[in-house]
Structure 1
């Protein structure tokens, strides 16, 4: 193999725990557009174009004998193409080539050229095996927008029997990303598109879906997991989601809800991040995600870059503002984290008992430079969701559902079902629109119990009794409203009482 001594050899099978008999890997690039969204990045006069989406795919394959694996240079070439076409962004396409990015500048031309010749594992356009295989979708990070940063991880996971898909990280109307709710939602929508596109392939399972996120991609993956019940497992590394991030995201997303994280979750960060962000009485997402079977993998000696494939480049020079110089043990530490990621996905996407057992063990320090600490918390009994509550009420099981909501007062006091406005909408929709007056009565009682000083709650409960022709209960309800002298609805209550007493 023609490489310089300063570059890492391709990872051999043993370095990532890959066992003989695992899969060969194929690679394919799918180029299309999302016609439901437009980009308008070109200078005036502005014109709308369908949003370009490039889906990178790695998959278990049966390559022909003697087929050559892709080299790093092929991935770098594709990274150039990730920048939107000239017709959309003009001269920016030429100025944003991969050879201008941080990695190339840090290595210098001679060493970067040597890296471009470095062989990887995948064979481009190789025939896919039949499958179906579980799907894992990767969210890229800020300053690591190109899928090349996680090509090594993607190839490894594909060799373990997964289909891995990703797309470049790009802004809403510019190749440059904005770190705000709009930019986050753009990345989430891109990942949703990738999921839908990958699942059209015959060898991709429609039953098992894992997400992986790094940096901003971890924020996007988290919100996507919270809002998409189809996700089965989530991994996040080196991303600011444990505690509130200075950008305000992902907490500012309307879909952010720790209680909605209901799938197994593995989160890995450097120990320095824990020390910098942990505050007294400040609960982390790891503390709050009660409904998730969650793992926290804390590493020593790893920087942000060391969670990417760039950790595999020996003697990588420092780059101010981006990363420190490569250190002894970087490759071993990276490989140790990848082993946990692989076992996590095999445990929860393939139901592999050996992998689940691997996650139950404290990391062994096989080498002095590898120091990891793994914490685990089992999921609590899942609390009822808004959707489950509504369905239970419609089905006539409101009493049981109400008891589950009452329990939320202790475990999840900010739950939407403890919000009076949400209960009001349920009542008006099910009773007013569909006439489910008997089914909704327990919800009316719950609202009064939770908000005893709400004149509207008392009035509507009495009205609910009238609809069911339970006039004594209605009279009691109106009298209770008048006794509390709540002011609002008093005139209406007096009018209703007069009518009832005249019957």
Structure 2
């Protein structure tokens, strides 16, 4: 009797009927790029791991199987597209059954060995292995899969994004110690977040990756891991959640010492499953609050946030493998055609969101902000809500970021412009003094410190300390005349300034 790997989904599936779907029928319109694909295994030497079916006490460096989809060179005429079976071979490897004969894949893992599923294995995809990268730099999407799932679980979406000019990198969902998750959810979430961070480091080695433009995207349990990674990695600029379980596992997120809702400060989109029918809630013992409660979204205050609900999709169908292979639940699942149409729109929304916030595409932003009917989507298919971030008081850091962009020129004009829009804004004397001196003593920014200290003396004309600092800055730069002038001004304000007294004696000898 073949061994079947257990998989734990949010919804327990029952009363199955088999689906009739295909990649072609999903109807994704690829972009201008050919899609290249790489798969290899890296190792994280900072963590140890056991291959569970080796039944050995041996520990190895944590293996990280990596799948990468990328925009490829257009002139690869001899390229041969992968088949779905090629992706399932990766699933086999990641499940640590790499020597399993191909004919047993459907029997051995998650999906029924039906004629329809056998036909899916023969389907051609749009990705070709090991093509040359297209010229240019491309934004990066780091994909985190669902609970214990493969790096390739959403291959059609990953190919689609790559064809539109994104590099997508993914690794499987694995436990901390071995292939399986323990009962310690917080530990396992941290492990998945660290895997995401490993991928960010890994993708930086690609010369075609624009690591200033990184987003994370995750399905189900990949969602909270991505949230955790974003709150401590400010190079992550956007978050796409495919029915991410941060919606209903908020208490798990709060267990992390790294998490705080106000640290979710980048654009965020969550695409949720349909309302779960009461019959399913009762029979599967699901908390009805899952249909309505979303503490994380309600708690987010510093990011542009979008919340969509897909009324024809249950949880499993936010992934390619789910759409193609997952058994249907007659109690709630829609028809195959309706599932494929909704999966297509999930992909389109993901693309437009990423175009809007990683490529600054105004048309894509309009699409994301529109009501679905304004985008040509039939009524009742998708619900859409969004919210703007609450504006914090303008900070000294905000001022300094703007000042640095203009190389600390015209600072009074900048200050007055900010003050007009933010009447309560103040530039603390001590901050200006410290910033000015820091800039002066840095050989790369020495000249930029003088305007900062000059602005400070204009705003605080009675501060002996500021004139003393400005004098020291001029002295550091070799302008003795200006140094004497400002030391004397400091003494006028404070006759007991011993530093100014000493400096003037030295300078006037």
| TM-score, shorter chain, exceeding 0.5 | yes
2:84 aligns with one of 65, 72, 80: 72
Measure, in 1, the Cα distance between the counterparts of 2:312 and 2:130: 38
2:119: which partner in 1? 114
Give the structure 1 partner of residue 289 of structure 2: 277
Q: Bigger shift: 58-67 or 148-157? A: 58-67
Q: Does 1:397 align with 2:436?
A: no
For structure 1, the 5+ residue unaligned runs are 400-437, 439-503
CA contact (8 A) 2:323 2:339 kept: yes
SS in 1 for 2:246: coil
The answer on whether the counterparts of 1:10 and 1:119 sit within 8 Å (CA) in structure 2 is no
Deviation at 1:11, TM superposition (A): 5.2
Alignment of structure 1 residues 262-273 onto 2, 5 Å: 262-272=265-275
User: Structure 2 matches for 1:399-418, cutoff 5 A?
Assistant: none
Q: Does 1:149 align with 2:172?
A: no
1:307 aligns with 2:318: yes
Q: Deviations over 1:164-212 (max 9, x none)?
A: 0000111111211236011111111111111111111111012100000
Q: In the aligned structure 2, how far is the partner of 1:317 from the partner of 1:325?
A: 12
Structure-2 separation of matches of 1:395 and 1:126: 57
For CA contacts below 8 A with separation 6 or more, give which structure has more relative contact order. 2
- Cα deviation, residue 319, structure 1: 6.4
The secondary structure found in structure 1 opposite 2:24 is coil
Structure 2 matches for 1:214-293, cutoff 5 A? 214-245=219-250, 248-272=251-275, 276-277=288-289, 284-293=295-304
Contact (CA 8 Å) 1:306, 1:330: kept in 2 or not? Answer: yes
Aligned length: 380
Structure 1 residue 324: Cα displacement: 4.7
What pairs up with 1:102-141 in 2 under 5 angstroms? Answer: 103-104=110-111, 106=112, 108-141=113-146
SS at match of 1:396: helix
Whether the 8 Å CA contact 1:61–1:127 is kept in 2: the answer is: yes
In structure 1, the partner of 2:492 is: none
TM-score (norm 2): 0.66
1:174 to 178, 185, 188: 178
Q: Are 1:99 and 2:106 matched, yes or no?
A: yes
- CA contact 2:21–2:337 (8 Å) conserved in 1: no
Does the 8 Å contact 1:59/1:161 carry over to 2? yes
Does structure 2 retain, via aligned residues, the 8 Å contact 1:79–1:146?
Answer: yes
1:422-471 CA distances to partner (integer Å, 9 max, x unpaired)? xxxxxxxxxxxxxxxx9xxxxxxxxxxxxxxxxxxxxxxxxxxxxxxxxx
In the TM superposition, residue 371 of structure 1 has moved relative to its aligned partner by 1.1
Instruction: State the alpha-carbon separation in 2 of the partners of residues 81 and 33 from structure 1.
Output: 15
In the alignment, which residue of structure 1 is the partner of 2:453? none
**1:99-149, Cα deviation, whole Å (9 max, x unpaired):** 345543x2x253332211110001100111122100000110015x11232
Structure 1's 40 and 160: CA in aligned 2 closer, same or farther, altered over 3 A? same
SS of alignment partner, residue 52 of structure 1 = strand
Matching residue of 2:355: 346
Q: Distance in 1 between matches of 2:78 and 2:192?
A: 38
For residues 31-71 of structure 1, the C-alpha deviation after alignment (integer angstroms, 9 at most, x for no partner) is 22111111135577622211111110000002521421000
Q: Is the 8 A contact 2:50 2:59 kept in 1?
A: yes
Distance 1:45 1:285 in 2: 41
Q: Which is worse superposed, 28-37 or 207-216? A: 28-37
Which residue, out of 22, 34, 47, partners 1:8?
22
SS across alignment from 1:235: strand
Shift in alpha-carbon separation, 1:181–1:307, aligned structure 2, 3 A: same
Pair 1:384–1:255, CA change in 2 (3 A): farther
Partner of 2:168: 164
Change (3 A) 1:251 1:273: farther
Q: CA RMSD in A?
A: 3.9
* Candidates 92, 95, 98, aligned match of 1:83: 95
Correspondence list, 1:355-370, <5 A? 355-364=364-373, 366=376
Superposed CA deviations along residues 343-365 of structure 1, whole A, max 9, x for unmatched, are: 00000000011101111210028
Residue range with higher mean Cα deviation, 146-155 or 347-356:
146-155
Residue in structure 2 matching 1:381, options 391, 413, 416: 391
What is the DSSP-based 3-state SS (H/G/I as helix, E as strand, rest coil) of the residue aligned with 2:234?
coil
Could you say what secondary structure the match of 1:328 adopts? helix
Give the Å deviation of 1:79: 1.3
1:191 to 180, 193, 196: 196
**Of residues 63, 66, 70 in structure 2, which corresponds to 1:55?**
66
1:393 CA drift (Å): 12
CA drift of 1:276 comes to 3.0
Q: Distance in 1 between matches of 2:267 and 2:432?
A: 29
